[in-house]
Amino acid sequence: MNNPTSILARAGVVADSTIRIRRNKHYPMEAWYCIGLFLFFIGVFQWTSILRSKLARRRSIRGGDPEVTAGPHPRKFAFSRIAVGLTNAYRVIAFRWTLEFGESYTLNMAEVFVTIAYIVFLYVWAFTNTTDLEGDKLAWTYWWNRAGTLASSQFPLITALGTKNNLVSLITGISYDKLNYIHRMVTRVVFVLLWVHGASEIVHKFKFKKEFTETWLLCGIVALVALSILCIISLRPVRAGAYEFFFYAHFALVTIFLACAYIHVQENEYGYWIYPCFAIWGLDRLLRVVGLIVSNHSYFGFRSGATMDATAELLSENFVRLRLHRPHFHWTAGQTAYLIMPSISRLPFEAHPFTIASSDSDLFSSIEQDKPSKDTSNQRSLAMHELGSSAPFRKELIFFINVRGGFTARLKEAALARRKIMVFVDGPYGPSPDLGSYDTSVLIAGGSGVSYTLPTLLDIIEKVREGKSNCRRVVFIWAIRDANHIHWIDDTVVRALHLAPPSLSVSIRIHVTGVPVTTESLPRSEDHSEETGDDSNLDIVEKDNAKAMEKTKDLLHAMEAVKIENGRPNLHATLREEVECATGKMSVSVCGSQGIARSVRYALRFPVSSPLNVVRGGPSVTLHVESFGYA
């Protein structure tokens, strides 16, 4: 006869198991409902903000907003601006207050909040309702497998956040590059949760002296090891110091992890959390391949008569300019493109992102249509002169590339050899700053960060000329180490200033932190001849230097709007001055090192950008940070 006590014990075990399995299936779904609701609210907020900005710009252009169309007015307290002041305070707290780790790692408060909220959210779901039927709290049998299923349920989100074309960006209006931090953060939180699951599994096997022979278990261990290695090499010091190694290893480890994870979870029929990852990744790759064929059609047998290969030029010891034509490629100011160079890369389809420094517009062609000015000879030279070595023109893609090591070092060698390079362009990606609704725009760049701010400047001028922008003042600040970097953009700046309408005040401020503009500071031709072994390059370089010097003189003496100074820019003083003089809406866009981004954030905190100042009639300031490097 069976013992009643043992029967009840077995019944309790079965009941516990039924409850655990049901919760393991339902809790991940409930977690996804919460994630979906959060993304929906973020999307509503983002797209509503974008729509309001566009509508406000249209009304003000039509003369419906006297505060925008009128000039500066005395500042006084206005209750109607309290909401604007609170919005400005939110921007300061969320995006300009930061936690800093060393000299190169910064988290703003919005990122800190999302990180803490996600950790709490996921671990509450993992450890809630873990009291078994016998009354034991935090019963390990309840959270052991639940931790694994919750972690598995986040893999589609992680995959989507890591792709260039993803649904999260479409819903929220946040570009993939801004979501990259969330991609890494979610991965690391899930990594810890997987170790909670995996360590419990291993302890359980040792406790009951079971062998590690099951295929599903071995695959789980391999997947966990692969993810552990991936999390280690994804740390900033490794990524920054050996990016190409990280690039290759990331692809291999993710493939191993997902394949083994699928075999592992399929044992309990949870594979439906894994195979969507392959579908998401495959769809992104399909879209990118289609884009590659369209943008680089001549390489795929669709002849258009255009030369597709790129020209690489060494601008200085550490900078290369890449120029190429893509007749059917369209982009907007501030966007990036991934460049694939089979002859430069170690792998045929290794892609590297760079900001497009040229403008896809008809701005410069409008010079020919302008009414003759007093200086008709200068007018003709601007219209008829070929766009010089630094001036972007329609359908020419230009990239300023900072030479570091690996891929960029090999690109530098190709530039020195003056050979043509086969380049596949993938893109464009990233947001384009819509600055049409801002009365004042401040553009700040360091070094190759001018790739972002220069086309933005051209876009502002073009929109004002076409009556599509409210902008009345634009300030362009560029910090460079070598005075000769001015030659990268001098032709473009001259033309841009010539085209700027009288209603737009343009101020160009170039700060040289190293050697000032002198004949001696120009690049020596011997440096190039040593690399190429061709003494005939001497005369060519000397002629280029002479032309560059003439352009600099034109820029210095002919344009009153341009100021060239030695030393680092005092961003705090400059931004405070602009905030004090501005009204309406003000945008500050910065692209450069972490140091420049930090300086701008400091400058735009309280009290410079305080809600009280906004309520009294001061500008509502929006900050756009495009900080290059390995985020």
- Does residue 497 form part of some domain? yes
Pair (598, 477) in one structural domain: yes
Give the C-alpha separation, 466 to 160, whole Å: 38
Give the C-alpha separation, 297 to 329, whole Å: 10
- The predicted model gives 567-587 an average pLDDT of 90
- Does residue 387 form part of some domain? no
Give the C-alpha separation, 567 to 553, whole Å: 20
Give the C-alpha separation, 25 to 3, whole Å: 34
Higher pLDDT: 20 or 234? It is 234
pLDDT tens figures, 390-427: 444 446 899 999 888 788 889 999 999 888 899 999 98
478 pLDDT above the threshold of 80: yes
Quickly count: other Cβ atoms within 10 Å of residue 304's Cβ.
11
Pair (400, 319) in one structural domain: yes
Pair of tokens at residue 426: 């993938």
pLDDT at 327: 77
| Confidence class for position 213, pLDDT limits 50, 70, 90 | confident
Pair (283, 326) in one structural domain: no
| Confidence class for position 430, pLDDT limits 50, 70, 90 | confident
- Does residue 259 form part of some domain? yes
Give the C-alpha separation, 194 to 123, whole Å: 12
**Strands 562-566 and 585-591: what pairing?**
unpaired
Give the C-alpha separation, 372 to 386, whole Å: 19
Please report, rounded to a whole number, the percentage of residues in the chain having pLDDT higher than 70. 79
The residues near 510 (Cβ < 8 Å, ≥ 6 apart) are 478, 480, 486, 562, 563, 564, 565
Q: What's the total number of domains in the chain? A: 3
- Does residue 168 form part of some domain? yes
| Confidence class for position 305, pLDDT limits 50, 70, 90 | low
Pair (40, 76) in one structural domain: no
Pair (428, 438) in one structural domain: no
| Confidence class for position 101, pLDDT limits 50, 70, 90 | confident
Q: Which residues form the domain of 454?
A: 72-101+434-515+548-630
Pair of tokens at residue 606: 């309280």
Which one-letter amino acid corresponds to residue 115? T
Give the C-alpha separation, 63 to 436, whole Å: 15
Pair (285, 331) in one structural domain: no
pLDDT at 14: 62
Pair (132, 258) in one structural domain: yes
pLDDT, mean over the chain: 80
Pair (511, 501) in one structural domain: yes
| CATH number of the domain encompassing residue 563 | 3.40.50.80
387 pLDDT above the threshold of 60: no
Phi-psi region of 173 (alpha: psi -120 to 50; beta: other; left: phi over 0): left
Question: For residue 575, with 0-12 CB atoms within 10 Å meaning exposed, 13-18 middle and 19 or more buried, which class applies?
Answer: buried
210 pLDDT above the threshold of 70: no
Give the C-alpha separation, 509 to 494, whole Å: 13
Pair (111, 130) in one structural domain: yes
Whether residue 607 has a cis bond before it, omega within 30° of 0 = yes
- Does residue 503 form part of some domain? yes
Higher pLDDT: 208 or 16? It is 16
- The predicted model gives 15-34 an average pLDDT of 85
525 pLDDT above the threshold of 70: no
Give the C-alpha separation, 505 to 475, whole Å: 8
Pair (404, 477) in one structural domain: no
| CATH number of the domain encompassing residue 313 | 2.40.30.10
User: CA angle, corner 337, sides to 289 and 161, nearest 5?
Assistant: 70
pLDDT tens figures, 29-83: 999 999 999 999 998 888 888 787 777 666 665 554 444 443 445 567 777 788 8
Give the C-alpha separation, 536 to 528, whole Å: 11
| CATH number of the domain encompassing residue 30 | 1.20.120
| Confidence class for position 492, pLDDT limits 50, 70, 90 | confident
Pair (354, 285) in one structural domain: no
Pair of tokens at residue 608: 């410079």
Pair (205, 88) in one structural domain: no
pLDDT tens figures, 442-453: 999 998 899 999
User: Under DSSP, is residue 563 helix (H, G, I), strand (E, B) or coil?
Assistant: strand
The residues near 197 (Cβ < 8 Å, ≥ 6 apart) are 144, 145, 147, 148, 151
Give the C-alpha separation, 231 to 244, whole Å: 16
Answer with the one of 260, 290, 320 that is the final residue of a domain: 290
- Does residue 297 form part of some domain? no
The residues near 235 (Cβ < 8 Å, ≥ 6 apart) are none
- Does residue 520 form part of some domain? no
